[in-house]
Amino acid sequence: MKIDWAALGIVAIVSIVATLVFVALLSGGIRYISQATVAANQSHSSVGVRTVGYAFIGLAGLVVLFGIWLIVPQLH
Amino acid sequence: MSLLFVVITVIVVALIFDFTNGFHDSANAMAGPIATGALKPRTAAIVLAGLVGAIVWNLLTWLLGLPSSSSHALFGGLIGAVMVGAGLASVNYSVIVSKVLLPAIVAPLVAGFAAAAATALAYRITKRTPSKHSESGFKYGQAFTASMVALAHGTSDGQKTMGVITLVLIVSGFQASGTGPQPWVVLAAGLAIGLGTYSGGWRIMRTLGKGIVEIETPQGAASGAATTATILASAHLGFGLSTTQVASGSILGSGLGRGATIRWGVARRMAVAWLLTLPGAAIVGGLSALLADHGVAGVIALLALLAVACTVIWRISRRNQITMDNVTDAADVVVLATVPPSDTYPNDPRLAAQAGRQKAKSKRKKYKSAA
């Protein structure tokens, strides 16, 4: 019986890394956008922090788009 | 004539399977655990028997609210039907172990681990974020990852039914071999799975969404991401696996990552259903193959039995309907009601009618005692 352990290992690593990267970017975005909102409520400057927050969310979106591009053969 | 009849029957029954698959939410690429070369003339009848086994098993586990794998039901049904219809030697057991059984164990574990780590990470990063903000932020994240799960589900699951229909069309000579699925097959399979999810998914959602562990929004976002990543990564590398099993693994893992109380009893019941799915569907598929082998009369008898089984299961499910309105009211899916519906499903539409009946009853009682 031939079992492709290497492929199973790749699946495991890719799944775990992709999940962690996506969730870290999403959580970071939520954290900084919230920080900016709190700062704005106290009438501090918040533009920089908010930009960082949205950049995180944008990166999370890019990760997803990259994943979709990888799995759809018609796009290559 | 009789071949055309069987082919049409297979298409219809395959779409019914797709519909019950939508009930379940599961995934698996149609791998080739079955050596089809030896059984070309009777493939259609055997595929039909396998589908019947898969449908009956899908409906039974759906009735119990158990998120068992439709993919495994289909594999089990086909394996059972092939064993009976073409002999034990026609099944490629090595492929079953390496492409079906092993990924079925590994994938939920991987997804569970990914979800646990991601949930812990999400809570850590947003530790100082006001919960009002993190909750609403992760709510968008959760909605997004849920739609990604649906994408992963559709990409791998719709193909399973399309594969079965196309296989039968090709071996019966209605389609040139080596060509892809016809557009109408793609369309019909997509419609059937969508309709099934829309009409029957609530029962499973209760078990997954409430039964195992209460889900908070960061957890939902993390487990959705884990499910999507695991399914797409493994489908891309040639492992077909069950969305159901992976999603259950991630939800359980995300609960562990948050340190929430897990209802292990529910998890255990689900694991038992998974273990039983292959042999259970195989037995039904094998019995169906005995009938389907007897020409048109056998096929008609099989269809009649399938219709009876579906009707009975559907009628039992009506006793405790689960809909969009009451899906999150309770954690358990009750099958044979011994609990009054008011305790389990406060929003059940039938309650109003029942309350009316009870009033009438108590009035009658009063009359009696007065007399």
pLDDT digits (tens, 9 = 90+) for B158-205: 666 777 777 777 766 676 666 667 778 777 777 777 666 655 555 555
| Any B CB within 8 A of A4 CB | yes
Interface residue of A10, A21, A26 to substitute, partner B, most B CBs within 10 Å: A26
Q: Per the structure block, which two tokens stand in for B67?
A: 């998120």
Please compute Rg for chain B using Cα positions: 23
Q: Per the structure block, which two tokens stand in for B76?
A: 């089990």
How far apart are alpha carbons B318 and B63 in whole angstroms? 10
How far apart are alpha carbons B124 and B90 in whole angstroms? 53
Q: Per the structure block, which two tokens stand in for B74?
A: 């289909």
Question: How many inter-chain contacts (A to B, CB under 8 Å) are there?
Answer: 117
Q: Please give the single-letter amino acid code of residue B304.
A: A
B97·A3 Cβ contact <8 A: yes
How far apart are alpha carbons B317 and A42 in whole angstroms? 55
B98·A1 Cβ contact <8 A: yes
Instruction: Report chain A's mean pLDDT, rounded to a whole number.
Output: 85
| Any A CB within 8 A of B105 CB | no
B134·A30 Cβ contact <8 A: yes
**Tens-place pLDDT, residues B100-111:** 777 778 888 898
SS3 (DSSP) at B34: strand
**Tens-place pLDDT, residues B11-34:** 666 666 665 554 443 323 232 333
Instruction: Report chain B's mean pLDDT, rounded to a whole number.
Output: 70
| Any A CB within 8 A of B154 CB | no
pLDDT at B4: 67
Which residues of chain A does B221 touch, with a Cβ-Cβ cutoff of 8 Å? 23, 26
| Any B CB within 8 A of A9 CB | no
A34·B134 Cβ contact <8 A: yes
How far apart are alpha carbons B325 and B347 in whole angstroms? 7
pLDDT at B166: 75
- Calculate how close chain A gets to B355, using CA atoms only, in Å: 47
Q: Does residue B259 come out as left (phi exceeding 0), alpha (psi in the -120 to 50 range) or beta?
A: left
Determine the length of chain B. 371
In this predicted structure, the answer to whether residue B328 has a pLDDT above a threshold of 60 is no
A23·B118 Cβ contact <8 A: yes
Please compute Rg for chain A using Cα positions: 18
Q: Per the structure block, which two tokens stand in for B63?
A: 């009735």
**Tens-place pLDDT, residues B267-302:** 787 788 778 888 888 898 888 888 877 777 777 888
- Candidate from B121, B218, B229 with C-beta closest to A18: B229
SS3 (DSSP) at B194: helix
pLDDT at A56: 93
Which residues of chain A does B94 touch, with a Cβ-Cβ cutoff of 8 Å? 1-2
pLDDT at A24: 93
- Calculate how close chain A gets to B316, using CA atoms only, in Å: 40
Q: How far is CA B86 from CA B9, B157, B171, in A?
A: 20, 27, 16
Q: Per the structure block, which two tokens stand in for B370?
A: 């007065």
Count of beta carbons in the 10 Å neighbourhood of residue B147: 12
Nearest CA in chain A to B128: A31
Q: How far is CA B223 from CA A23, B218, B253, B269, B350, in A?
A: 10, 9, 8, 21, 35
Contacts 24+ apart (CB under 8 A), B327-330: B327/B202, B327/B205, B327/B206, B327/B209, B328/B206, B328/B209, B328/B210, B330/B206, B330/B210
Burial (Cβ within 10 Å: 0-12, 13-18, ≥19) of residue A41: exposed
pLDDT at B17: 63
Q: Which residues pair with B34 in a beta bridge?
A: B91
Which residues of chain B does A35 touch, with a Cβ-Cβ cutoff of 8 Å? 129
A7·B233 Cβ contact <8 A: no
- Candidate from B103, B125, B226 with C-beta closest to A19: B226
